[in-house]
Amino acid sequence: MQSEANVKERLNLYINGRWVEPVGKGTVKVVNPCSEEAIATIAMGNEEDVDRAVSAAREAFPAWSRTTVAERAALMARISSAMAARQNEIGDTIAAEMGMPAPWSRMIQAGLPIATLNSFVPILENYPFEYDMGRTRIVKEAIGVCGFITPWNYPLHQIIGKVAPALAAGCTMVLKPSQLAPLNAFILAEILEKAGLPPGVFNLVSGAGSRVGQAIASHPEIDMVSLTGSTQSGILVARAAAQTIKRVTLELGGKSPNVLLKDADFPVAVRKGVHQCYLNSGQTCTALSRMIVPAEKQEDVVVLAREAAESMVMGDAFADGVFLGPMVDRQQQQSVRAYIETGIREGATLVTGGPEQPDYLPKGFFVRPTVFSNVRTDMVIAREEIFGPVLCILPYRSEEEAIEIANDSVYGLSGSVWSGDIERARSAAKRIRSGQVFINGADFDIDAPAGGYKQSGIGRERSKYGLEEYLEIKAVIGHNPA
């Protein structure tokens, strides 16, 4: 297990290229969810700190937005290299603050942000910021000062998902990371400073969503706000942002379907489906938490799902062979356990798991990997985002019913289809109302746009479509004088 004595306290904010004492005098402890012990103390900024950060970003914007594509691309490449040099440190820091097992954290929590940043260098270098359309010149310009509010489940990945396209576009920014997993954001600020990012382009104000997040969303000098979080948080941010008619992008909740058509390879599909549901202990917006299976195959699926769930090792983030870590905090643990109890009361069949603390893990915010079968679409566990290691198996009797069940949700973030016939799978995928659909267990694609339909959000991240969220479109109309 990692030594916790070497985790630094973070009592300053990063504003205008300097580490400064916050106006807000509050602090909060960062707790390791495996041990339930405090591992760091961070500063809690306030509205005045947001004002200072926004002023710095506003002052830096004219010069930064006029930098060349080559200058921005070179700086982003330097930042990516500096992140790669600290990849293991970043991964272990996130493992300690939110509980993902360290090997996975190094690969995913640290590796994905590096890959995302790298992916925007060629996008930036090849993007047409100006082109002619008849006698009109179309000009794409940076939108301005951006406010970012990010979550704890993939903390740095979600930060870079916003920072990378904003830097590429020529925007400046103010970030409020989650107070549950903020330490990685401070490491990023150190990296940006060392890489030579001009003062004021990136500013970090840690604090509570109710104060710092609200101040960012409502600030009249912020041109755009981007949130990744719960749907309820998205509603609050959108309402606050509406007062100043700023652009809003939201990546929110999900209840993603995993449709196994009758000709699927069930042993492979079920094992991978359980893995994709439980990755990061189910604390993933795109988790495939609804496995939709032929009714006549449900009992076979149950056997396969139970075997897969019960084979997964749960424990401390720094113990060998662990796949499942804890929930991020006690509140999340209690929430997930309450959903499991609700599923039992609703009459779903508890295949494995349950709400009890694992016997061999008396300390830590752990939840047993849980599988329910015979789940109906009207059950709470089939409709609400649980955000924990809970899989619901729902039976269908026809392919049309399978698609209906998949779309019977207020969410539309991701999904999956399995079939022995690729064209049949693609046909089903086109009928699923979600921003992404994976076919036959396809791997994550860093270059694919990500975002949601319905209450899963507004806008896209990654790819050129993510870059365009940070650009305004100007039409310059005219011609040379005669």
HSE, side-chain direction, 13 A CA sphere, residue 73:
12
The verdict on whether 400 is a catalytic residue reads no
The verdict on whether 285 is a catalytic residue reads yes
Residue 270 contacts residue 291 (beta carbons within 8 Å): yes
CA angle 333, 336, 339 (to 5 degrees): 150
- The DSSP string of 213-277 is IHHHHH-TT--EEEEES-HHHHHHHHHHHHTTT-EEEEE-----EEEE-TTS-HHHHHHHHHHHH
Residue 79 contacts residue 197 (beta carbons within 8 Å): yes
Q: Which helix (H) or strand (E) holds 188?
A: helix 183-195
Residue 406 contacts residue 257 (beta carbons within 8 Å): yes
DSSP state of 105: I
Contacts of 62 (CB under 8 A, 6+ apart): none
Among residues 249, 235, 285, which one has the least CA distance to residue 171?
Answer: 249
Whole-number Å distance between alpha carbons of 238 and 245? 10
Residue 62 contacts residue 220 (beta carbons within 8 Å): no
Q: Which residue in the list 97, 146, 171, 251 is annotated as catalytic?
A: 251
Q: Dihedral, CA atoms, 215, 219, 223, 228, nearest 10 degrees?
A: 20
Q: Which residue in the list 34, 171, 285, 392 is annotated as catalytic?
A: 285
Which residues on neighbouring strands pair with residue 416, listed in sequence order?
258, 438
| SS3 labels along 382-435 | HHCCCCCCEEEEEEECCHHHHHHHHHCCCEECCCEEECCCHHHHHHHHHHCCCC
| Cβ atoms within 10 Å of 350's Cβ, excluding its own | 15
Instruction: Tell me the C-alpha to C-alpha distance, in Å, between residue 36 and each of 204, 413, 445.
Output: 26, 32, 35
> How many secondary structure helices (H) and strands (E) does the chain include?
16, 22
Active site residues: 251, 285
